[in-house]
A and B are shown apart, each in its own frame.
Chain A
Amino acid sequence: MHVLLKNLMKDCLGRIGLLGVLVVVVLSLLAPVIAPYEPTDMFSKNILNPPGSKFIFGTDEFGRDIFSRVIFGARVSLIVGIISVGIAATSGYILGLIAGYFEGNVDNVIMRLMDVLFAFPSILLALAIVSVLGPNLSNTMIAIGIVSTPVFTRTVRASVISVKSMEYITSAKAIGLKPLDIIMKHISPNIMAPFMVQVTLALSGAILTEASMSFLGLGIQPPNPSWGSMLNASRSYMELAPWTAIFPAIFIICTILSFNILGDSLRDILDPKLKL
């Protein structure tokens, strides 16, 4: 971990990515301290106020402070990202391990199922799931978790298959270790590098999908702050109050960019063969 961080700090882009991600994490954790107002507080005398000393990012159509909403929006985005990637990474990891280790029919069934899920554009499948379960925070996370699972399964399976052919795994089998012991003690630690890269890249994908779903009105529901829904609401007042669109857009772009840069740098460090 220490070596990884050291290598990351050597890379200029890696430093920028890490810094961006840290800023988002700090903003989310300290949202109640940093934000001057509650995200749902309405100041009826200050509707669509431009940025100024009282409201540094201005106010929206209900007189709510955009800065506070953007900060709390970071928290929502990060929670959705972490939990949905947690769901996808856990299920993808288990399925990938089983498919890669046992191969044969089990592998065939799991991978065809993943092929089916992969055949749907992720946003469409997520929208279909949410339309049935109902649009809210937890269902958004479940939907994004399901649509992100195939990519983890494929990554883990491919790594397991390449590690499995190593001599030390043959030796472990020869001394009579049980499959579970081989998987947990010998395979798992050796497939962590591509898995962690995938986790970082999937986080940006999950945040992006959540923002798109909220933008379409099928993700986080008002009055809860979400960057996507803020941007959607701003469309009606965009010319009159461009700040209602600009700040949420900047925050979405910078957050996703930071996660992507970090993911790229991690990949370059952990898996130099894949360097783009």
Chain B
Amino acid sequence: MLIPVLIGITLCIFLIMHMLPGDAISSMLGIEETPEARQRLEEQFGLDLPWYKQYWNWISRVLQGDFGNSLRTDKPILPEMLSRFKLTFELTLLAAAISWIIAIPLGIISALKRNTWVDGVVRVMSLIGVSVPNFALATLLILVLSLGFSYYPPVGYESFIENPAVNLQIMILPAFVLGAIMSGSVMRMTRSSILEVLRQDFIKAVRAKGASEKIVIFVHALKNGMIPIITLIGMQIGSLLGGTVVTEQIFSLPGLGQMVLTAINQRDYPVVQACIMFIAFIYVIVNLIVDILYTYIDPRISYK
């Protein structure tokens, strides 16, 4: 099923981007637009061909690792996309880690202390987590830090390898914003999943055997309750990658999200097309990895 979906993604994004192919040429030429200049550029970019030929040409080049050149800078798209993806990847990974650190322990505690005030607080926190938009949280956080603590998030970017301390200082706030938002749904899923597992007979059997509560929770309940949590985390990677568009914009981080947004504003369609396709591919592949992970977590699941 993976291959048809991947082909579908390329076709979908290609068709969306080619609904109005003339606009990119118009915006490139500006006031110097003449029929001759337009024709010359259309021929240069292959825009005079029928759409299926354009698609075929594009996809053949993509399969060879050539995502084309930017209409604005005329530079190849792939190297810039990859270098910016490093930042977005780091941001996504940090955000995911922060959300797990917050959400999984709180979800477990909430399930264990069901219907107590602790459970109530955690449930309200998770509801707020799923309801607060990342840009609103980011704006309010910057406001509180700047007015209350005279702290201003650093601008610019240094890679982790070059300067780990500065890198973490830059990344921690955006990663926290993304992670806090994601933790809401992970917390809810952990709670319901653990509650579901705790009701099952094998947990009674483990308890009857005289195992300590630690063993019951961490060895038996958590391992068996991990499948829905991991599924959710896989699905969340998509919204995290989407969320980076907004977060990178707010914190002026030169990642893939900012590259897409700049390209959309400049009507640089080849860049928009390449970046969105790249992100969708990563999302599909992450979910494939999640599917494969199931077999390790739960050996009863096997793909034949």
* A-chain residues with CB within 8 Å of residue B142 when the two chains form the complex: 238
User: Is A11 located at the chain interface by the 8 A CB criterion?
Assistant: no
* B-chain residues with CB within 8 Å of residue A235 when the two chains form the complex: 139, 250
When chains A and B are docked, how far (Å) is the Cα of A212 from the Cα of B250? Answer: 12
Least distance between A103 CB and chain B CB atoms (Å): 16
Contact across chains for A245 and B139 when beta carbons are under 8 A apart: yes
When chains A and B are docked, how far (Å) is the Cα of A238 from the Cα of B153? Answer: 14
* B-chain residues with CB within 8 Å of residue A112 when the two chains form the complex: 1, 4-5, 8
Q: A121-B283, A239-B147 are in contact. Are A216 and B19 (CB under 8 A)?
A: no
* A-chain residues with CB within 8 Å of residue B264 when the two chains form the complex: 127-128, 131, 218
* A-chain residues with CB within 8 Å of residue B128 when the two chains form the complex: 253, 257
Which of B57-65, B93-101, B241-249 binds A? B241-249
* B-chain residues with CB within 8 Å of residue A252 when the two chains form the complex: 133, 136
Least distance between B137 CB and chain A CB atoms (Å): 9
Contact across chains for B9 and A253 when beta carbons are under 8 A apart: no
B-facing mask of A52-83, CB < 8 A → 1, else 0?
A: 00000000000000000000000000000000
When chains A and B are docked, how far (Å) is the Cα of A120 from the Cα of B11? Answer: 13
* B-chain residues with CB within 8 Å of residue A117 when the two chains form the complex: 12
A-facing mask of B254-267, CB < 8 A → 1, else 0?
A: 00000011001101
In residues 207-253 of chain A, which contact B (Cβ within 8 Å)? 208, 211-212, 215-218, 228, 231-232, 234-235, 238-239, 242, 245-246, 249, 252-253
Contact across chains for A242 and B147 when beta carbons are under 8 A apart: yes
Closest residue of chain A to B264 (Cβ to Cβ) is A131
Least distance between A255 CB and chain B CB atoms (Å): 9
* Number of CB contacts from chain A to chain B under 8 A: 140
Least distance between B272 CB and chain A CB atoms (Å): 6
Contact across chains for B284 and A276 when beta carbons are under 8 A apart: no
Contact across chains for B131 and A123 when beta carbons are under 8 A apart: no
* A-chain residues with CB within 8 Å of residue B283 when the two chains form the complex: 119-121
When chains A and B are docked, how far (Å) is the Cα of A121 from the Cα of B240? Answer: 8
Closest residue of chain A to B21 (Cβ to Cβ) is A132
* A-chain residues with CB within 8 Å of residue B279 when the two chains form the complex: 120-121, 124
In residues 1-43 of chain B, which contact A (Cβ within 8 Å)? 1, 4-5, 8-9, 11-13, 16-17, 19-20
Contact across chains for A253 and B131 when beta carbons are under 8 A apart: yes
Of A121, A231, A257, A264, which is within 8 A of B135 by CB? Answer: A231
Contact across chains for A215 and B135 when beta carbons are under 8 A apart: yes
Least distance between A177 CB and chain B CB atoms (Å): 34
* B-chain residues with CB within 8 Å of residue A124 when the two chains form the complex: 241-242, 245, 260, 276, 279-280
Least distance between A207 CB and chain B CB atoms (Å): 9
Q: A116-B9, A238-B143 are in contact. Are A121 and B192 (CB under 8 A)?
A: no
Contact across chains for B276 and A125 when beta carbons are under 8 A apart: yes
**Residue among B16, B192, B241 having the largest count of chain A Cβ atoms under 10 Å:** B16
Contact across chains for A204 and B242 when beta carbons are under 8 A apart: no
When chains A and B are docked, how far (Å) is the Cα of A238 from the Cα of B4? Answer: 48
Q: A119-B280, A253-B131 are in contact. Are A131 and B267 (CB under 8 A)?
A: yes
Contact across chains for A132 and B5 when beta carbons are under 8 A apart: no
Closest residue of chain B to A120 (Cβ to Cβ) is B280
* A-chain residues with CB within 8 Å of residue B242 when the two chains form the complex: 121-124
Q: A115-B5, A122-B239, A231-B136 are in contact. Are A128 and B16 (CB under 8 A)?
A: yes
When chains A and B are docked, how far (Å) is the Cα of A149 from the Cα of B282? Answer: 22
Least distance between B204 CB and chain A CB atoms (Å): 21
B-facing mask of A112-142, CB < 8 A → 1, else 0?
A: 1101110111111101110111000000000
Closest residue of chain A to B134 (Cβ to Cβ) is A212
* B-chain residues with CB within 8 Å of residue A206 when the two chains form the complex: none
A-facing mask of B183-225, CB < 8 A → 1, else 0?
A: 0000011011000000000000000000000000000000000
When chains A and B are docked, how far (Å) is the Cα of A131 from the Cα of B245? Answer: 14
User: Is A261 located at the chain interface by the 8 A CB criterion?
Assistant: yes
User: Is A256 located at the chain interface by the 8 A CB criterion?
Assistant: yes
Contact across chains for B246 and A212 when beta carbons are under 8 A apart: yes
Contact across chains for B133 and A128 when beta carbons are under 8 A apart: no
When chains A and B are docked, how far (Å) is the Cα of A252 from the Cα of B146? Answer: 22
Contact across chains for A113 and B20 when beta carbons are under 8 A apart: no
Closest residue of chain B to A234 (Cβ to Cβ) is B139
User: Is A153 located at the chain interface by the 8 A CB criterion?
Assistant: no
Least distance between A86 CB and chain B CB atoms (Å): 22
Instruction: A116-B8, A121-B242, A260-B130 given; name 10 further pairs at CB < 8 Å.
Output: A115-B8, A121-B279, A121-B280, A123-B245, A125-B276, A128-B264, A212-B133, A252-B133, A257-B127, A276-B189
24 inter-chain pairs at a CB distance below 8 angstroms, sorted by A residue, are A112-B1, A116-B11, A119-B9, A119-B238, A120-B280, A124-B241, A127-B245, A127-B264, A128-B16, A128-B272, A131-B272, A132-B16, A132-B17, A215-B133, A218-B265, A239-B143, A239-B147, A245-B139, A245-B140, A257-B128, A257-B131, A260-B127, A261-B127, A276-B189
| The 5 residue pairs across chains A and B that have the minimum distance between CB atoms | A121-B242, A116-B8, A257-B131, A131-B264, A123-B242
